[in-house]
Structure 1
C-alpha cells in the first residue's frame, strides 16, 4: 500500500502520476535546496549531466525572483511522453527534448528554464481561471528567452518582433492574451511574453524586475487574475498610466505600438 501526503499547497492541475522504471539522481542547489531527478534506467550517464544543469538554472532564476517557493525540485525525464510539463516540484520532460541545436548548443536548456519558471509563475502563484493563463506562460517564455540570449543561443528581441508582427492575426482567431478563446496557443505563450516585454520597455528593466519579484512574493500560495496583475503593477510603480497600457495589450483586438520600436508593424 502506498500513502501520499502533500506538505505544501498544490493546485490539482499540477500533480501527475507516472508508473515507470527510472533511476533517482540526487543533488543540491547552490543554496542547499534538495534536488531529486528521475531518469530512464540505463541512461544515467546520458541524462546525469543534463539534470546537473538545474542548479545553475535555479541560481539564475532565484537572482530574479527570490527564494524558490517549494522544498525540493527536480526533473522527470520519461521516454513515454512527448512534451514538457510543469508538475509541481518535478517537471516532466520527454527524452526527445535533449538534443543539441544546429549550432551544437544545448538550446534545450531554455525549456528547462521555462518549466522551472513555472514553479513560481503558475505553480506557487496559480491562475484563478484559465483566461488568466497568459501570466503562467508569458513569464515562462519571457525568462526562457532571456536565458537563451544570455547564453548566446538566440536574440530575444528578434523573437518578440516576430511575435508582434503575427499577433494581430492570432488575436482575431484565438483572442487576445488576456481573453483567450481556448487554453494554449501563441496568444498566451509568446503573446503573454510580448505583454511583459512591452511593459519592461515602458517602465525600464529595474522597475519591471521589481514588479515581477514582488508579484510572486505577494501572491505566493494563492490564485490571481489579470485585474490583480494590473493593479499590482500600478501599485509597485506608482504609475496609473500603466492601467490602460496593460489593458490595451491584454484585452484589445489589435497590438498597440511597441515602446521603443515605432517601426514594428503587424503583418498584413
Structure 2
C-alpha cells in the first residue's frame, strides 16, 4: 500500500479538511504484520509489538505543518536506507527489499541535489528529514509527498545507461520548498508548485548537459500560446494537471529571469521560500514579493500579463520567439 492523494483524495483514507490552506503537524501510527515495513512523512519515533507480537506499530512524527494532499504513508516489503546529507540533514529512503543494491546508488545522489538546490535559492532545505520512496510496481508517476518523495520504478529503468533520471529527482525535491513548505492558498494557484519544479529541473538538466534549457523554454513558449486559450493561462487554469501550470508556468519564471537578470531572479525566488516558509501564499503574494525584492514596480504589470493573459506576451531577450 502507498498513498498518492494529491489533489483531493486524502479524505478517502483519513478524516481531514482536504484543502491546501489548512496545514497541520502530524503523527502517524501504522500497524502492519511483522516483516512488513510501514513508512510515513517525518521522522520515525519508535515501533512496538502489538498483542501476541505478530503485528508491529510504527510511529512517525512530522513537526512541520503539512497540507493533506502531501500525506505519504505506505506499507510494503521495503528496506530503510539511512544517511546524512548537507549540514547533517537526516536522509532516509525506502526501497524494495529485494532491490536494495539496485537503488542504493540512485538514492545516494540525493545529498548532492539538496546542496545544489540550497545554492540556487540561498535557502536551507526546509524540513528535518528527506528521502525517496521507490515502489516495486503498481505506480507509474512521481509525487512530492512532504519529506518522502514517491517514485514509480519506471523513472529508473535506464539508470545503468545515463543519469537523466536525476532530473525527475530534482523536480520532486524542488517541491519540498515550492508546494510543501510554501503551499498555495488554493488550487487555482497551482502554478506556484509546478512552475518552479519544472524550472529548476530544467536548470539542472541544462547544467548537466542533458537538455538545453533555452530550447526547452522556446518550445514550451510556442505551445503555451494555444494552451492559454483552451485550458486557461498559468495563473487561471480551467483544471489541474495541464501543460499551463507545469511547463507553461516554468515559461513565466523563465520570462521573469530574462526580464530581471539571473541575480535578481534568484533573490526573488530565495526570498519567496524564506518569507512564506511553512505557510500558504497566493499569486498576488508572489507578484508583491517580486516587486519588493527587485525594487521594480513594473514587475507587477509584467507578471500580471504573463500569468493571466490569453496570449503570450513577448519573451524578453528573444524577439524571434513566436
**Is 2:258–2:316's contact at 8 Å kept on the other side of the alignment?**
yes
Q: Name the counterpart of 2:117.
A: 61
Local SS of the residue matching 1:115: helix
1:51 aligns with 2:107: yes
**Offset at residue 4 of structure 1 (A):** 4.6
Instruction: Return the alpha-carbon distance in structure 2 between the equivalents of residues 146 and 134 of structure 1.
Output: 17
TM-score, normalized by length of structure 1? 0.96
**Is 1:84–1:92's contact at 8 Å kept on the other side of the alignment?**
yes
Instruction: Return the alpha-carbon distance in structure 2 between the equivalents of residues 153 and 121 of structure 1.
Output: 23
1:202 aligns with 2:259: yes
**Offset at residue 16 of structure 1 (A):** 2.2
Instruction: Return the alpha-carbon distance in structure 1 between the equivalents of residues 90 and 104 of structure 2.
Output: 16
Local SS of the residue matching 1:230: helix
**Offset at residue 169 of structure 1 (A):** 1.0
Instruction: Return the alpha-carbon distance in structure 2 between the equivalents of residues 5 and 32 of structure 1.
Output: 19
2:172 to 104, 111, 115: 115
Write out per-residue CA displacement over residues 157-213 of structure 1, whole angstroms, 9 at most, x where no aligned residue: 101000111111111111000000011111000011000000000000000000000
**Offset at residue 75 of structure 1 (A):** 0.1
**Is 2:228–2:244's contact at 8 Å kept on the other side of the alignment?**
yes
Structure number with greater Rg is: 2
1:106 to 158, 163, 166: 163
Instruction: Return the alpha-carbon distance in structure 2 between the equivalents of residues 4 and 238 of structure 1.
Output: 44
Instruction: Return the alpha-carbon distance in structure 1 between the equivalents of residues 169 and 259 of structure 2.
Output: 28
CA RMSD of the aligned region, Å? Answer: 1.3
**Is 1:105–1:153's contact at 8 Å kept on the other side of the alignment?**
no
1:24 to 80, 92, 109: 80
Matches within 5 A, 1:142-153: 142-153=199-210
Instruction: Return the alpha-carbon distance in structure 1 between the equivalents of residues 163 and 272 of structure 2.
Output: 30
**Is 2:86–2:111's contact at 8 Å kept on the other side of the alignment?**
yes
Q: Name the counterpart of 2:302.
A: 245
1:6 aligns with 2:62: yes
Structure 1 residue ranges without an equivalent (≥5): none
Instruction: Return the alpha-carbon distance in structure 2 between the equivalents of residues 11 and 38 of structure 1.
Output: 22
Q: Which has the higher strand share?
A: 2
**Offset at residue 17 of structure 1 (A):** 2.0
Write out per-residue CA displacement over residues 128-161 of structure 1, whole angstroms, 9 at most, x where no aligned residue: 0011110100000000001011111110110100
